[in-house]
Copies of this chain bind each other. A is one copy, B any other.
Amino acid sequence: MNRFSLNHATTKYWDQDEAIDACARENVGIGLWREPVAAKGLENTARRVRDSGVTVTSLCRGGFLTTGAPQALDDNRRAIDEAAALGAGELVVVCGGLPEGSRDIDAARRAVADALGALAPYAVESGVRLAVEPLHPMFASDRCVISTLDQALDVAESFTPEAVGVVVDTYHVWWDPNVYAAIARAAGRIASFQVADWITPLPAGVLTGRGQLGDGCVEFRRLRDAVDAAGYSGHIEVEIFNDTIWSHPGPDVFAETLRRYREHVA
């Protein structure tokens, strides 16, 4: 179980300090989010992390780079600083959807590549890798114009593996007929491996309709084996956005998630 990491979004309403301490007690990692970190204070959180001895497996999230706005670059530099302060080696980057009113998806993709080029040197100096996450194609218009792992790799491969890696999230990539070839291609670039299940029918609020491990149709062990075979030996983050799961107490969700992980992924 020492590769397990709880992405804090899985227990969104659980006090961050309690979640950090619980993960430390179980000797598992934690993935943190910028907003709760800011609410607790960056220095306070960094101290809590150091004192507890927990590993911060990623900071979520930077990105939203498709508009070309200088403010977006500034915000991403701050996110890199925050990741560095927390000792998180990976900043998850969700690239952004089409700018308001635009239909030009190629232009949006070029803007992402340009912005990564502007950010990469600063990330390397800071000891933080930009972890580009392809999101399911149903988010292409509003959240991420990078929809497949191959496409994320096409972007990442313009940079050194220390500067730009990719996230493999089962929820986003399970359907892709090329996913196993893409995972093999991603050797040396896998910055984060995240797991959530795909449940059918798709819940009404698609953003928060991810399934607890085992409740859906994702082939976790097959995907995990492929990621392992590509040389990834880091943490496996469970990241589930789900309104029902969020309505339960954090400690209960944590215990259930550990149990499900043991059964379906470990």
A177 touches B218 (CB 8 A): no
For chain A, what secondary structure do more than half of its interface residues adopt (helix, strand, loop), or is it mixed? loop
For the side of the interface on A, what is the size category?
20 to 34
- CB-nearest residue of chain B relative to A101? B217
In chain A, positions 99-143 with a C-beta closer than 8 Å to chain B are 102-105, 109, 136-138, 140-142
- Binary per-residue interface labels of chain A (138-151) against chain B in the complex, 1 for a CB within 8 Å, 0 otherwise: 10111000011011
- Binary per-residue interface labels of chain A (75-118) against chain B in the complex, 1 for a CB within 8 Å, 0 otherwise: 00000000000000000000001100011110001000000000
Does A39 belong to the interface (CB within 8 Å)? no
Q: How far is the CB of A95 from chain B (nearest CB, A)?
A: 12
CA distance A140 to B150 in the complex (A): 19
Given contacts A142-B200, A205-B204, A206-B202, contact A137 B97 (CB under 8 A): no
A137 touches B206 (CB 8 A): no
CA distance A102 to B154 in the complex (A): 32
Given contacts A137-B176, A177-B147, contact A103 B219 (CB under 8 A): yes
Q: How far is the CB of A203 from chain B (nearest CB, A)?
A: 9
Please report A residues at the B interface, Cβ cutoff 8 Å.
Answer: 97-98, 102-105, 109, 136-138, 140-142, 147-148, 150-151, 154, 174-177, 198, 200-202, 204-206, 216-219
A177 touches B138 (CB 8 A): no
User: Which residues in B have their C-beta under 8 angstroms from that of A97?
Assistant: 200
CA distance A205 to B205 in the complex (A): 9
User: A138's contact among B137, B141, B154, B217, by CB below 8 Å, is which?
Assistant: B137
Interchain Cβ contacts under 8 Å between A and B, 30 examples: A97-B200, A98-B217, A102-B217, A103-B217, A103-B218, A103-B219, A105-B174, A105-B175, A105-B219, A109-B177, A136-B137, A136-B138, A137-B137, A137-B138, A137-B175, A137-B176, A138-B206, A140-B174, A140-B175, A141-B175, A141-B200, A141-B216, A141-B217, A142-B200, A142-B202, A147-B175, A147-B176, A148-B177, A154-B177, A206-B206
A104 touches B219 (CB 8 A): yes
CA distance A206 to B216 in the complex (A): 18
